[in-house]
Structures are given as structure tokens and as C-alpha cells.
Amino acid sequence: MIDKHSAGTHAMLAVKGLEAWYGESHILHGVTFDVQPGEVVTLLGRNGVGKTTTLKAIMGIVEQRRGSVRFEDRELVGLSSDAIARGGIAFCPEERGIFASLNVRENLLLPPQVRPGGLDVERIFALFPNLRERLSSQGTKLSGGEQQMLAIGRILRTGARLLLLDEPTEGLAPVIIQQIRETIGSLKAQGFTILLVEQNFHFAAAVADRHYIMEHGRVVDEFSTPQLKANPAKLHDYLGV
Amino acid sequence: MFEIFGVPSYALFGQLLLGLINGSFYALLSLGLAVIFGMLNIINFTHGAQYMMGAFVAYMLLQYLGINYWAALVIVPILVGATGIIIERLFLARLQKLDPLYGLLLTFGLALIIEGVFRNYYGSSGKPYDIPDALQGGHNLGFMFLPNYRAWVIVFSLAVCLVTWFAIERTRLGSYLRAATENPTLVRAFGIDVPRLVTLTYGFGVGLAALAGVMAAPIYNVSPQMGSDIIIVVFAVVVIGGMGSIMGAILTGFTLGIVEGFTKVFFPEASNTVIFVIMVIVLLIRPAGLFGRGI
């Protein structure tokens, strides 16, 4: 099912045979997929199949890695994570990574601009109006939903065009999930390219163009969103839901 | 002259002044230790030796090159801070992923080596360093005599402490530092060169120690063991204040200096141990320290 033709030279992100280790444990066993400019793509799969590790290996946070990750035709394997970020990729971690010793404003302004053309603070407030009233609160005093908005909002300033979002809906109330869903739609409309890790495939089906299924540290299948909706049984097999 | 609790005001305020002077050095040194510990997770046992180097480099600049105190205040922290940067690049950076004990052992060993080298060349009796001309003399305030140089040390070290606090707690660079103290991996994944930040932080902390050394040179003798004399107390100050709080390090430093001074007036026998007694009590009641954020 994997579409061999999509891994063309025009991919914004082309991952090929990516392997990664945490110390002695071999987590990724050759992950291959690609993301085209302007697309929203998800990595789906059960817990522990290597979705988060894939994002961290792309980002260089997992340093022990092999294979190829090309971003705008530049090889990233071997670069440090700060160099990868300055190349124009931004990462929003699963645990959100809001800093307790920084207030909301400092959290928002922390990631440096890596390219021109990031959203200015006013446009981030337009997406997430709650943040404006909480600017001088301690970052971790925000609610879970607000922290997630802050975590996404702060990487929009940087000018990065490829966003890696790790489970942005985890543990959030449906109304917040709905808001994040609209945000991702709005970001896509503004030309951002997004690679999303998700457990919640209803959310994934609602926001993404394409979906890769991961098992045991590999990508084993690919669906477009219409295919995903047409094959619920197969997806249930993969995800065990 | 008047009396307070039967103690002449000259004696009381004289000891208070001495306490504030000691407190200035405790604050500057524990501030550097706290900044270094936050970023590197290393307890910098070389700190006392670097303070001593500050005093000695000031002495050498004056002796061999005729460079005066005021220029030394600027040059010495840069020179000694640069040696700190070399130490960080050569040694500490390699220990980063290991148990913090290795850093402790390495910096402890370095302190012994540095102290030994200075003892070898300058002996252990100490060298005098004159108070700069502009700060000779003092003022009689009626209730006490205030030497100008001592007043300068208190005011200047307080200013340095507050500027450092402001830089860390209120500026953009400071927000990088605080964030990198919490989660260096994520800060790096935002595109900030954290290893360089770590190197500069160590250099800065060492520079602070050296600055304290320059200020101490005219008060205490410049001697190879001046660092190990003070650093034991400074570690107790850090334990009491708690690692990881900038304002905590400053406040605890000055406060304990004053407590020590008052103890000299009212119960002189305990003046050398009072800080350690407080340390024991704080460890029993609040193991993370008065301002610490937990262990």
C-alpha cells in the first residue's frame, strides 16, 4: 500500500530507512515516509511503536540514529538538534514542555526566530485568545488546554514551516480538542506543513490529508483520509481500538 | 557613643560591618555556585581556588605590570573566567552525561592542583595588597567608624548581585538560561546552542568568583589558602539557601554574614560554628534549603 511515487524529490520531508536507538534498545528499524509541502500527515499506531521516537529522531533529540532524513533536500542525520531547528523545523513535545520558571510571555517568546515570516504575537493571540490574559502567569499555572495552546503558539513565531506535533490532543477536553482541530486547519490554510503523531484517529481523520501506520518501529501502511474512512475494519486491526 | 544590650555601639556596628563584608563575599560566591549548579549540575569545588586566583591575578597585575585595582576589577574576571571556559571545554563538557559525582571529584582535584601551584610559587604566608588611594580612610558616623573601602565592597557586591539577578530573572538571555536549566534538550530543539550557553555560564560563574577575589585582596591577605578558608562556609551558605534560587543565594549570603557578625558580639565562642549549626537545623527541617525547589 505504500505509495512509492510520493517519495519524490519535491517532498518537504523525506525519511528513508531511519533507525534509532535509546542506549542499547533499538527502537526504529527503518522508518520510511514523506511529507509534501502544505500537507498535514499523521503517524498512527499503538503505544510504543516508535511514533514519538520518529519525531525525536527527525529533530535530532534522539542522537543515536542512522538512515536518511532530508528536509528541503538537506540531510539532517548527523546534525545537532539546535542546527536542525535553525534549519526551519519546530517541535512541540507530548509533555508540552512549558517552563515553570518562565511566565507565559517568556515561554511564548523563548524559541528564537529561525526564518522570517513567522506569525507575530497578535496573530497567535487571534488563534489562542486565552493566552493574552495570562501573559504574566507562571507557565505551568495554566490549564492543560492553555498549556497546549502555548506550546503550539510559541513555535508559530519562529518562522519554521514544518511543525512536528506530538499528540496535541492528549488528555484534553473535547471542546479544547475542537479548538486545536480548528487551529490545525487554519495553520494548513496558512501554508504550514504539519507532521502529527496521534492516538486519536477520529481527530487524525478530521485534520490530516494522509496517514502512516507504524508497527514495531516501522511504517507498515499508508492511507489517504478517504481510504481511512472507507476501511475502518483494517484500521481497527492496526490500532486495536 | 551609646550602648545596645550593654554592648558599645562601636563594637556592635563594627561587627555588623564585618558581617556584611563577609556576607558580600558569601553572596557573590554562592551566587556563582548556584548559577553553575543550575546549568551544569556540577557542584564547583574549584570555586574557592578561582576566588583565590582572582586575588592573585590582581596582585600579579599590580606587581609585575603596574595595573591598578580599578583596571583589575574588569580584567581579572575576564582572565580567570577565560580559564574557566577552558576548563569547561576541556573537562566538564566531557563529564556532562555522567554521574555528577565525577564533576565534583574533578573540580575538587583541580582546586587542590591550583592551590598547590600557587603555594609552590608564593608560599603560604600571603601577600599584602593595598587599598586603592581613592578609597583610603573612612568616615566617623557617630555610632561607628566606617572605612571607605569596606563601604565600597558592600555596595559594589550588592550591585553586582542585583544586576546578576536582573540579568537572569528579567532578560531574554536569562529566560534562555532558566529554560535550559529546566529542560536543556527542549531548549536545544528550539534552535538555541545550549552547549555554548553552558560554557559561557561556567565562565561567568568563575568570573564572579574572581571578582570577589579582587575585592577581597585589600581586606584579607592574598594567600593560596584564602579560597579553601572561605569556600567551606560558602558551601554551608548554599546548603542553607538551597541550590537553584538566585535571590535565595544572595539573601542567604548577606543574612548569614550578619548573623555571624552578631554572634561575634553576643557569643564569640560560637561565631565560627554558628553557620554550621544553622545548616544542620535547616537540613533537618527543610532539606531542600530555605529557597530550594526540592531535591
One digit per residue, the tens of pLDDT, for chain A of length 241 reads: 444 444 445 799 999 999 999 988 999 999 999 999 999 999 999 888 999 999 999 999 999 999 999 999 999 999 999 999 999 999 999 999 999 999 999 999 999 999 988 899 999 999 898 899 889 898 888 889 899 999 999 999 999 999 999 999 988 999 999 999 999 999 999 999 999 999 888 899 999 999 999 999 999 999 998 888 888 888 888 887 5
B181 in contact with A at a CB cutoff of 8 Å?
Answer: yes
Residue A114 resides in a domain: no
Q: Is A110 in Cβ contact with B182 (below 8 Å)?
A: no
Residue B157 resides in a domain: yes
Per-residue pLDDT tens over the stretch B125-150: 888 898 988 888 888 887 778 888 99
Residue A178 resides in a domain: yes
- CA-to-CA dists, residue A159 to A82, A86, A185, A195, B189, angstroms: 15, 10, 18, 16, 14
The residues with which B222 forms a beta bridge, in sequence order, are: B127
pTM to 2 decimal places? 0.88
Q: What is the pLDDT of residue A9?
A: 56
Q: Is A82 in Cβ contact with B192 (below 8 Å)?
A: yes
Cα–Cα dist B202/A180, whole Å? 41
Residue B134 resides in a domain: yes
Residue type at position A192 = F
CA distance A160 to chain B (A): 10
Range of the domain at B56: 14-285
Residue A109 resides in a domain: no
The percent helix, strand, coil of chain A (3-state, each to 5) is 35, 25, 35
SS (H, E, C) A145-181: HHHHHHHHHHHHCCCCCEEEEECCCCCCCHHHHHHHH
**Which chain A residues are within 8 Å of B173, Cβ to Cβ?**
none
Q: What is the pLDDT of residue B221?
A: 85
B182 in contact with A at a CB cutoff of 8 Å?
Answer: yes
Exposure of A193 in the CB half-sphere (CA atoms within 13 A): 17
DSSP state of A39: -
The CATH number linked to B58 is 1.10.3470
Between A and B, how many CB-CB pairs are < 8 A? 59
**Which chain B residues are within 8 Å of A86, Cβ to Cβ?**
191
CA distance B182 to chain A (A): 7
Instruction: Count H helices and E strands in chain A, helices first.
Output: 10, 10
Residue B291 resides in a domain: no
Q: What is the pLDDT of residue A1?
A: 45
A133 in contact with B at a CB cutoff of 8 Å?
Answer: no
Residue A116 resides in a domain: no
A153 in contact with B at a CB cutoff of 8 Å?
Answer: no
Range of the domain at A20: 4-97+158-239
Strands of A45-147, DSSP E: 65-71, 74-75, 89-92
A109 in contact with B at a CB cutoff of 8 Å?
Answer: yes
Per-residue pLDDT tens over the stretch B88-108: 999 999 998 888 889 999 999
Residue B2 resides in a domain: no
The CATH number linked to A81 is 3.40.50.300
Residue B294 resides in a domain: no
- Check the CA dihedral B182-A81-A156-A120 and report its sign: positive
Q: What is the pLDDT of residue B293?
A: 64
Cβ atoms of B235 and B80 within 8 Å: the answer is no
Residue of A62, A106, A115, A147 for testing the chain B interface, max B β-carbons within 10 Å: A106
Residue type at position B233 = V
Residue type at position B144 = M
- CA-to-CA dists, residue B61 to B64, B68, B72, B79, angstroms: 6, 7, 7, 11
Residue A131 resides in a domain: no
Among A80, A102, A111, select the one facing B190 at the smallest CB separation. A111
B128 in contact with A at a CB cutoff of 8 Å?
Answer: no
ipTM: 0.90
- Which residues, 6 or more positions from A126, have their beta carbon under 8 angstroms from its beta carbon? none
**pLDDT range class, residue B248, cuts 50, 70, 90:** confident
**Which chain B residues are within 8 Å of A60, Cβ to Cβ?**
189
Nearest residue on chain A to B196, judged by CA atoms? A82
Count of domains forming chain B: 1
CA distance B178 to chain A (A): 6
Q: What is the pLDDT of residue A234?
A: 85
Q: Is A60 in Cβ contact with B183 (below 8 Å)?
A: no
Count of domains forming chain A: 1
CA distance B59 to chain A (A): 40
Among B178, B181, B191, select the one facing A82 at the smallest CB separation. B191
Q: What is the pLDDT of residue A7?
A: 47
CA distance A66 to chain B (A): 19
Q: What is the pLDDT of residue B245?
A: 80
Helix, strand, or coil here: A111?
A: coil
Cα–Cα dist B162/B143, whole Å? 28
Per-residue pLDDT tens over the stretch A34-80: 999 999 999 999 888 999 999 999 999 999 999 999 999 999 999 99
**pLDDT range class, residue B154, cuts 50, 70, 90:** very high
Q: What is the pLDDT of residue B97?
A: 82
**Which chain B residues are within 8 Å of A90, Cβ to Cβ?**
190
Cβ atoms of A54 and A15 within 8 Å: the answer is yes
